[in-house]
Structure 1
Amino acid sequence: MKIFKERHFFRLVIVLLLVSMASCNKKKNSYTAVSELDKKTFASTQLIPDDHFLGDASCKTCHAKEHDYWQGSHHDKAMQVATDSTVLGNFNGIEYKSQGVKSRFYKEGSAYFVNTEGPDGKYHDYKIEYTFGVTPLQQYIVKFPNGRFQCLRTAWDTKKHKWFDLYPDFKVVHSEWLHWSRGGLNWNNMCADCHSTNVRKNYDEATHGYDTKYALINVNCEACHGPGKDHVEAARSLGKDYKGNGDLKMTSQTKPKALVDACARCHMRREQISEYYNFEGSMLDHYFPQLIVENVYYPDGQILDEDYVYGSFVQSKMYHNDVTCTNCHDPHSLKLKFEGNKLCAQCHVPETYDTPKHHFHPTGTESSKCINCHMAGRYYMGNDFRRDHSFRIPRPDQSLKYDTPNACVQCHKDKDNQWAWEAYVKLYGKPKHKHFSDLLAPGLRGEAGGLNHLLELAKDTIYPEIARASAVNVMTNYADPQVIDNLLHFLKDESPLVRGASLDVLGEINAADYVNYLLPLLEDEKRSVRVKAFFALGSLDEALIPEPYKAVYKKVKKEFETNLKVTSDFVGGKVKQGNYYLKQGKLLDAIASYEAALEIDNTNNIARTNLANLYYRNGDFANAEQAFKTIITQEPEYGQTYYSYGLLLAELNRVEDAIVQMELAIKYMPDNIRPYYNLSLLYDKANQLNKAESTALKGFKKSPQDESMLYILAYIYSKNNEVEKAKNIAKRLVDLYPNNSNYRAFYNQLNAVQ
Structure 2
Amino acid sequence: MSMLAPVIATRSRRCQTWPVRTLRLLSFLVVISSITLLNAPAPAAAAELAEPLPVTLPASHPPVAPGGSGYVGAQTCAQCHAVEYQHWQGSQHAKAMQPASESSVLGDFKDVTFTEAGITSTFFRRDGHFMVRTDGPDGRLQDYAIAYTFGVYPLQQYLIGFPDGRYQALGIAWDSRSREQGGQRWFHLYPGQNLSPQDPLHWTGMQQNWNHMCAECHSTDLRKNYDPQHQRFNTTWSEINVSCEACHGPGADHLTWARKEGDWQRLNSTKGLSIALDERRGITWTLADNASTAQRSTPRSSNRELELCARCHSRRGQFWDGYRFGQPLLDTHRLALLTPDLYYPDGQMKDEVFNHGSFLQSKMQAKGVSCSDCHQPHTGQLRAPGGKVCLQCHIASRYDTPQHHFHPAASKGADCVACHAPTTTYMVVDPRHDHSFRIPRPDLSVALGVPNACTKCHGDQSAQWAADQVKTWYGKLPTGHQQFAAALHAGQTEAAGARDLLLALLRNPEQPSIARASGVALLGERLDPPAFEAIRPLLSDSDPLLRSTAARALDGLPLEWKTRSLLPLLDDPVRLVRIEAARALASVPRESLSAAQQQAIQKGITEYLAAEQTNADRPESALNIGLVYVDQGQFAKAEAAYRAALELQPAFTQAAVNLADLYRLQGRDGDGEKILRHALVRDPRNATAHHALGLLLIRQKRLPEALSELADAARLGPENPRYGYVYAIALNDTGAGAQAIQALESVLARHPNDRDSLLALVSLQHSAGHSQAARVHARHLATLEPDNPEVQALLRRVE
What is the TM-score with the length of structure 1 in the denominator?
A: 0.84
For the pair 1:65 / 2:88, whether they are aligned, the reply is: no
For the pair 1:299 / 2:345, whether they are aligned, the reply is: yes
For the pair 1:380 / 2:449, whether they are aligned, the reply is: no
For the pair 1:404 / 2:450, whether they are aligned, the reply is: yes
For the pair 1:309 / 2:355, whether they are aligned, the reply is: yes
The correspondence of residues 88-103 of structure 1 with structure 2, limited to 5 A, is 88-103=106-121
Distance 1:106 1:513 in 2: 65
Distance 1:731 1:138 in 2: 56
Please say if residues 693 and 717 of structure 1, whose CA atoms lie closer than 8 Å, have aligned partners that are also in contact.
no
Cross-structure match for 1:253: 278
Distance 2:472 2:454 in 1: 14
Change (3 A) 1:725 1:152: closer
Please say if residues 13 and 286 of structure 1, whose CA atoms lie closer than 8 Å, have aligned partners that are also in contact.
no
State the shift of 1:477 in Å: 4.4
Distance 2:102 2:627 in 1: 49
Cross-structure match for 1:31: none
Distance 2:238 2:443 in 1: 51
State the shift of 1:439 in Å: 2.7
Say which SS state the counterpart of residue 145 (structure 1) adopts.
coil
Cross-structure match for 2:238: 215
Change (3 A) 1:736 1:584: same
Please say if residues 569 and 577 of structure 2, whose CA atoms lie closer than 8 Å, have aligned partners that are also in contact.
yes
Change (3 A) 1:423 1:515: same
Task: Structure 2: give runs of 5+ residues left out of the alignment.
Answer: 1-21, 31-64, 178-182, 281-299
State the shift of 1:689 in Å: 6.3
What is the TM-score with the length of structure 2 in the denominator?
A: 0.80
1:496 to 544, 556, 559: 544
State the shift of 1:566 in Å: 0.7
Distance 1:596 1:536 in 2: 23
Moved more, 662-671 or 307-316: 662-671
Cross-structure match for 1:146: 164
Say which SS state the counterpart of residue 123 (structure 2) adopts.
strand
Task: Structure 1: give runs of 5+ residues left out of the alignment.
Answer: 1-5, 15-46
Cross-structure match for 2:104: 86
The one-letter amino acid paired with 2:308 is A
User: CA-to-partner distance for each residue in 1:534-569, whole Å, 9 max, x for gaps?
Assistant: 111112466875466677656544432320111222
State the shift of 1:183 in Å: 1.1
Cross-structure match for 2:221: 198
Change (3 A) 1:325 1:370: same
1:226 to 224, 234, 249: 249
The correspondence of residues 96-175 of structure 1 with structure 2, limited to 5 A, is 96-159=114-177, 160-175=183-198
Cross-structure match for 2:620: 572
Cross-structure match for 2:468: 422
Cross-structure match for 2:501: 453
For the pair 1:331 / 2:348, whether they are aligned, the reply is: no
Cross-structure match for 1:182: 205
Distance 1:345 1:697 in 2: 54
Cross-structure match for 1:12: 28
User: CA-to-partner distance for each residue in 1:564-592, whole Å, 9 max, x for gaps?
Assistant: 11122223322221221121122343343
Distance 2:102 2:362 in 1: 43
For the pair 1:439 / 2:487, whether they are aligned, the reply is: yes
State the shift of 1:441 in Å: 2.4
Moved more, 297-306 or 635-644: 635-644
The one-letter amino acid paired with 2:84 is E
Change (3 A) 1:635 1:412: farther
Please say if residues 177 and 603 of structure 1, whose CA atoms lie closer than 8 Å, have aligned partners that are also in contact.
no
Moved more, 685-694 or 617-626: 685-694
The one-letter amino acid paired with 2:26 is F
The one-letter amino acid paired with 2:568 is P
Say which SS state the counterpart of residue 300 (structure 1) adopts.
coil
State the shift of 1:148 in Å: 1.1
State the shift of 1:524 in Å: 0.7
State the shift of 1:184 in Å: 1.0
The correspondence of residues 512-661 of structure 1 with structure 2, limited to 5 A, is 513-540=561-588, 546=594, 556-625=604-673, 628-629=676-677, 642-661=690-709
Change (3 A) 1:373 1:632: farther
Number of paired residues? Answer: 708
Distance 1:96 1:699 in 2: 43
Please say if residues 72 and 250 of structure 2, whose CA atoms lie closer than 8 Å, have aligned partners that are also in contact.
yes
Say which SS state the counterpart of residue 122 (structure 2) adopts.
strand
Change (3 A) 1:63 1:360: same
Distance 2:702 2:347 in 1: 46
The correspondence of residues 461-500 of structure 1 with structure 2, limited to 5 A, is 461-478=509-526, 480-500=528-548
Please say if residues 401 and 409 of structure 2, whose CA atoms lie closer than 8 Å, have aligned partners that are also in contact.
yes
Distance 1:424 1:444 in 2: 28
Cross-structure match for 1:36: none
Please say if residues 112 and 124 of structure 2, whose CA atoms lie closer than 8 Å, have aligned partners that are also in contact.
yes
Please say if residues 199 and 276 of structure 1, whose CA atoms lie closer than 8 Å, have aligned partners that are also in contact.
no
Please say if residues 467 and 477 of structure 2, whose CA atoms lie closer than 8 Å, have aligned partners that are also in contact.
no
Say which SS state the counterpart of residue 507 (structure 1) adopts.
helix
Change (3 A) 1:233 1:134: same
State the shift of 1:363 in Å: 0.5
Please say if residues 7 and 604 of structure 1, whose CA atoms lie closer than 8 Å, have aligned partners that are also in contact.
no
Please say if residues 643 and 665 of structure 1, whose CA atoms lie closer than 8 Å, have aligned partners that are also in contact.
yes
State the shift of 1:280 in Å: 5.3
The alignment yields a C-alpha RMSD, in angstroms, of: 3.9
Distance 1:705 1:106 in 2: 55
Change (3 A) 1:336 1:196: same
State the shift of 1:629 in Å: 4.9
Paired-residue identity, %: 35
Change (3 A) 1:155 1:715: closer
Distance 1:688 1:156 in 2: 57
State the shift of 1:263 in Å: 0.9
Distance 1:94 1:691 in 2: 57
State the shift of 1:251 in Å: 4.9
Say which SS state the counterpart of residue 373 (structure 1) adopts.
helix
State the shift of 1:169 in Å: 2.7
User: CA-to-partner distance for each residue in 1:491-534, whole Å, 9 max, x for gaps?
Assistant: 22232111101122223666554112111101111111111111
User: CA-to-partner distance for each residue in 1:600-649, whole Å, 9 max, x for gaps?
Assistant: 34444444444443343343434544555566667766666554443332
Distance 2:734 2:628 in 1: 40
Change (3 A) 1:9 1:545: closer
Change (3 A) 1:579 1:675: closer
Please say if residues 570 and 578 of structure 2, whose CA atoms lie closer than 8 Å, have aligned partners that are also in contact.
yes
State the shift of 1:376 in Å: 1.2
Change (3 A) 1:669 1:601: closer
1:262 to 308, 312, 325: 308
Please say if residues 696 and 713 of structure 1, whose CA atoms lie closer than 8 Å, have aligned partners that are also in contact.
no
State the shift of 1:192 in Å: 1.3
Please say if residues 436 and 463 of structure 1, whose CA atoms lie closer than 8 Å, have aligned partners that are also in contact.
yes
Please say if residues 196 and 216 of structure 1, whose CA atoms lie closer than 8 Å, have aligned partners that are also in contact.
yes
Say which SS state the counterpart of residue 708 (structure 2) adopts.
helix
Moved more, 257-266 or 690-699: 690-699
Change (3 A) 1:509 1:190: farther
Change (3 A) 1:664 1:353: same
The one-letter amino acid paired with 1:216 is E
Change (3 A) 1:643 1:397: farther
The correspondence of residues 266-281 of structure 1 with structure 2, limited to 5 A, is 266-279=312-325, 281=327
User: CA-to-partner distance for each residue in 1:369-427, whole Å, 9 max, x for gaps?
Assistant: 00010111211222111111000111112212222111111000111112111112212
